[in-house]
Amino acid sequence: MKKMITILIFTVSIFGLDYSLEDVNTTSQTYEQFVGPSYFQNDDFSDDNKIVSINYFGWETWGGWRNIFAQLCELSNTNTWDTNKAVLIGIGKALGGDAALNGMINQNGVNSAWVQDESGDVWEAFLGDSNAPRKQIVLLDQDLMSRYQFQYAGSSLNNSEVQELLSAIQILIDEAATLLGDLNGDQNLNVLDIIILVDMTLGGTDIDLNGDINADGGINVLDIVLLVNLILEN
């Protein structure tokens, strides 16, 4: 396999988590493109922007880690989740060379993006440690915020684990269907929403986390500023 130049971009802040790594899966639609959560939210990729990313962390060198990714690909291929809104990305460590990689991507139906985090920076940003345990999934929402994290012990997901994952994915998809900052429910962002948000900030109205524009878990003046900017942009 040709030597790959890997570009890594990740952010841990109010801007969320992201990366850009080369897709090395020859059967993937995005083979040899640099992909990551934000890539699939881009209009240049698809009219159906993927607002939820399912980031699977595993190694290429052992069957159990491979099996889970193959199982996730099957769930994606059979539209078990809404594939117009959620995308699966596998993140490995480039261990075991070409033989291990081929063992991974040559499994039947494995056609989702697989990237290799040789530096370990993505693993550290998402999991807190570049040597974190394998067989983990991190779900990012439309704002690239880490919302769910799952760790698995077996060589495949059992029915309960599958249902738990599907439920979490659907929750994030449903949340995205709600217009962020639309506090009066009229499907528009305008000065009425600003008035409500100011009242929330001052404690005069019950908190609605749809006004938490920067997703920091609270309602404050930063959310007001961001909402004003959203209205001006639109």
Domains of the chain plus CATH, in order, are 21-176 (3.40.30.10), 191-233 (no CATH)
The pLDDT, as a whole number, for residue 163 is 98
pLDDT of 191 reads: 93
- Amino acid (one-letter) located at 103: G
> What is the C-alpha separation between 90 and 54, in angstroms, rounded?
8
Residue with tokens 């699966």: 88
| Per-residue pLDDT at 43 | 58
* Whole-angstrom distance, CA of residue 112 vs CA of residue 14: 28
The span from the first CA to the last CA of the chain, in angstroms, equals 46
Q: How far is CA 35 from CA 15, 39, 119, 126, 160, in A?
A: 17, 5, 16, 16, 30
* 197's tokens: 């948000």
Is residue 59 a contact partner of residue 49, using CB atoms and an 8 Å limit?
no
Q: What is the DSSP code (8-state) at residue 4?
A: P
pLDDT averaged per 10 residues, the chain (length 234)? 38 69 96 95 68 94 89 97 95 91 89 96 95 95 92 96 97 84 84 93 88 89 93 82
Q: What share of the chain is helix, strand, coil (3-state, %, to 5)?
A: 35, 15, 55
Give the single-character DSSP code of 232.
Answer: H
Q: Distance between CA 211 and CA 222 in Å, rounded?
A: 10
Q: Which pLDDT value is given to residue 9?
A: 42
Count Cβ atoms within 10 A of the Cβ of residue 175 and give its class: 0-12 exposed, 13-18 middle, 19 or more buried: middle
**143 Cβ contact list (under 8 Å, min separation 6):** 16, 215
pLDDT at 117: 96
Amino acid letter for position 153: A
Beta bridge partners of residue 86, listed in sequence order: 52
Torsion over CA: 63, 60, 86, 197 (sign): positive
pLDDT at 46: 58
- Quick one: pLDDT at residue 62? 81
- pTM score: 0.75
Predicted local distance difference test score (pLDDT) of residue 5: 34
Rounded Cα gap, residues 82 and 171, in angstroms: 12
Q: Given this model, what pLDDT does residue 16 score? A: 83
pLDDT of residue 6: 36
Q: Tell me the C-alpha distance between 57 and 177, whole Å.
A: 27
